[in-house]
A and B are shown apart, each in its own frame.
Chain A
Amino acid sequence: MESASIAASPGHVDDHHHHGPPEAHQSSRIDPTVLGILLFILSEIMLFGAFFAAYFFLRVVVDPVAWPPQGIHLPVLIAGINTAVLVSSSFTIHYALEAIKRGNHAGLKLGLTLTWLLGATFLFIQINEYIHIGFTPRDGAFGSIFFSLTGLHGAHVFVGLLLITFATIRAYRGHFGPEQKNHLGVEVPSIYWHFVDIMWIIVFLAIYII
């Protein structure tokens, strides 16, 4: 590797133009930016994993017979509709990306706008659910872990919405193009959005269904 040879031979001709420490050794199989996204997603999986571990630990330890505790009724139907809303947003953002790959700017704008609206709807319904659900994070272990897990996910949806907001504004300004290097600003938020959707599917199953 060239970077290795630079480090091994101080008299290399490139040293005349190279400032600072030698360039880091890297794999030829993965781009450094992709490796960054990979490590970020892995750390996010571990973060959610810690919360899931806490959830199932509490579920087993607190009272396995009554979970959720008596007097608490989760709005499964509303959460199911909310799940459909969020999953739909993955389809619309996928449509947006496929559109720009074909040079369809109108499709890109439509897809991103719909994705933003669906994501905002999800957050609105979740906040409304928090207001009317009838218990608070102070109401026992279930209340704590319910708001922690769904709140952690909601925070990720909020961050995803911010990314999609930037992408949408750029789309309306005509920033993106069909080549991959010209629509990375849509592709990277899309990958993050799919990750957030997958996490919600698991959160929904764990809390509302199982």
Chain B
Amino acid sequence: MSGPVEKNPSPRKGLGSLLVGNPFQDESVAFKWLILMLAAAVTVALVAKLISPAAAVVWGILILIAVAIVGVRVVIYLLGSPDDDDPEE
């Protein structure tokens, strides 16, 4: 087997710093994601009511893109590289 697994690794920059930890390992981090999505949903609903449904769709897509960027960064960091495990380099 490989060496010990790092616990809760995560990028520490940008939006990711708000969600330090691994949501697939730590329930508290997953709960933070839920709160963040709830807040985002409120803003989308407000845009839909105050401006238009089309604007809400655009705003929702922008939020999902931002979440996806953070998510991809977390996944890339979690998976790492084979070079990380080579002690000779």
Contact = CB atoms under 8 A, between A and B. Distances in A.
Interface of A: 1-3, 23, 25-31, 34-35, 37-38, 41, 56, 87, 90, 94, 97, 187, 190-191, 194-195, 197-198, 201-202, 204-205, 209-210
B12 to A, nearest CB: 14
Interface string B43-60: 011001000010011001
Given A23-B1, A191-B27, A29 B80 contact: yes
A1 B77 CA distance: 19
Most buried by A among B3, B5, B24, B78: B24
Interface string B22-34: 1111111011011
A191 B26 CA distance: 8
B62 interface: no
B82 interface: yes
Interface of B: 1-6, 9, 22-28, 30-31, 33-34, 37-38, 41, 44-45, 48, 53, 56-57, 60, 75, 77-80, 82, 84-86
A201 to B, nearest CB: 5
B31 A210 contact: no
Say whether chain A's binding surface is mostly helix, strand, loop, or mixed. Answer: helix
B44 A30 contact: no
Nearest to B29: A191
A210 B44 contact: yes
B17 to A, nearest CB: 18
B74 to A, nearest CB: 9
A21 B2 CA distance: 16
Contact of B85 (A28, A37, A38, A209): A28
Contacts of B41: 201-202, 204-205
A38 B45 contact: no
Contacts of A205: 41, 44-45, 48, 56, 60
